[in-house]
Amino acid sequence: MAGTSREKMPNTAAACLTDDLVVDILSRLPVKSLCRCKCVSPHWRDLISHPDHRRRLPQTLAGFFKNDFSNGREVWRFTNFGGARQPPLICTPFSFMPGYEDVTIVDSCNGLLLCRPPKGSPHHASRYVVCNPAIKSWVVLPDSGSHGDGVEDDEPLVARLGFDPTVSTHFHVFEFVENDYGTVAGVEIYSSETGAWSYEESQWNYETHLFEHSPSVFINGLLHFSTIQFEVVVVDVEGESWWVLPAPEDADDVDDRYSWNPGFLAQYQGLLCYMTCSYKGRDLLIWVLEDYAEDGWILKRQVTVRQLMEKISPPNGWSYLLITIHPDCNWILYVTGLVLMAYDMDRNEVHVIQNLGSRCVMSCIPYVPSYATSLTDGH
């Protein structure tokens, strides 16, 4: 517990509260309000930041895992969001997982990471590890057995993580199985509650094709993928419900349909968000799905790519990499060149957040820490 000594504060009712009462009150606030409370006083700031209180207080976007290549091998590093001068919140490689330090990060969901051991390692027979790096907890998953039908043992399959601590303490891992044509034949689903995999045949269109980096999001107990067929495909954690949703109807002019670049998925205020370019790549269209009915998509915002780039001249032109929507600020975060940028949808403004360094950014996986979810190592 943090100490009870404090600097002089104004003679207010809040100043008379004990630290325990302050933390209890703060734990009931949404994250955005909690962040504002850091400005009340240095003492409140220290209370909110203290490691002993993290389990009780809500968390927000802490940073990103980004990968590049060093000496011919893939390297993952963590970058704090908006605080690059501070030591990284998460240290890589993951030394708390002996034998699995140099894993490849596949997905992140509500504080948990889905990882793959490196190819050629003695532990590669275990295809997946799920860990919580904030509290250095981890579990090795058993083999799904899905790579027995023509799939090489070291060939990466499309896999995603599903976890919602507000619903259950258990997580699910989805591993999609392809047929001979490279389209989805079915999915192996691991449940941490049962500790076993179960296979379900696909009920999507027979042409549904997923890539390793296909945009996806887990929300409301459903895993959503954006496909090059200009659709959003959905499956639940039991593998019982399979849906195919058409992309926004009014986006008929999008260029992504012809560029093998599926629309980007994210979460916006608890709703599914779909982003794609149109009009020869000049505009970014931002849609939200208010319901799963046929016409459930609502156009939230349309912004020109020129505006997204107005505060920087990226070396590679007007290209950008969408990362996520900040869960508490309604900011669309993206990388152009080596700079992390933010588009504020509420104010229609663009902000430069930070330089990500001199190395090439291959991908960025956003990370919101969880200090209340512990995993049991199963090996």
- Is it the case that residue 169 has pLDDT exceeding 80? yes
pLDDT digits (tens, 9 = 90+) for 60-103: 888 999 887 767 677 888 988 876 567 888 888 899 998 888 89
Q: What is the residue whose two structure tokens read 């067929």?
A: 229
Give the pLDDT mean for 341-350: 92
Handedness of CA 231, 232, 235, 240 (dihedral sign): negative
Give the pLDDT mean for 257-264: 64
CA distances from residue 218 to 160, 173, 221, 269, 282 in whole angstroms, order as listed: 9, 11, 7, 14, 29
Instruction: Name, of 12-26, 82-96, 246-260, the range with top average pLDDT.
Output: 82-96
User: How much is the mean pLDDT over the chain?
Assistant: 80
Say what the pLDDT of residue 252 is.
Answer: 47
- Is it the case that residue 26 has pLDDT exceeding 70? no
* Least confidently predicted of 36-45, 205-214, 322-331: 36-45
CA distances from residue 36 to 242, 271, 275 in whole angstroms, order as listed: 41, 24, 29
Query: DSSP for 328-379?
Result: TT-EEEEEETTEEEEEETTTTEEEEEEE--SS---EEEEE---SS-------
pLDDT digits (tens, 9 = 90+) for 279-328: 566 889 999 998 887 678 999 999 988 888 887 765 555 678 899 999 88
pLDDT digits (tens, 9 = 90+) for 172-181: 999 999 988 8
Contact 356, 312 (CB under 8 A): no
Neighbours of 214 (CB within 10 A): 17
Contact 330, 24 (CB under 8 A): no
Query: Does the predicted TM-score (pTM) go above 0.75?
Result: yes
